[in-house]
Amino acid sequence: MTQYEKDILWASTQFLYDDLPDNWKDWSQKELYSFVEQHAWEPFQYWSGSKLWTHIIDLAESMRKHAEKN
């Protein structure tokens, strides 16, 4: 697993009440969006899968940039 994938897994825990499965990176975009919509933490339960995924990616990338600066 790459560092980027680990960062995504970490970031997803800030939005989802259940961890992404081990095979999440093999899923189609539709499957991924469906999973994040179905497992969205309550404050995000009405967000679309694409919006949730965008925020997960943004948080993962932001966290990595911060970690590399410090």
CA distances from 24 to 30, 48, 65, 67, 68 (A): 11, 18, 23, 24, 26
For residue 67, the model assigns a pLDDT of 86
Instruction: Spell 30-67 as b/e; 16+ CB within 10 A means b.
Output: eebbebbbebbeeebeebebeebbebbeebbeeebeee
Distance of CA 17 to the CA centre of its chain: 11
- Does the pTM exceed 0.85? yes
Express each pLDDT in 7-18 by its tens digit. 999 999 999 999
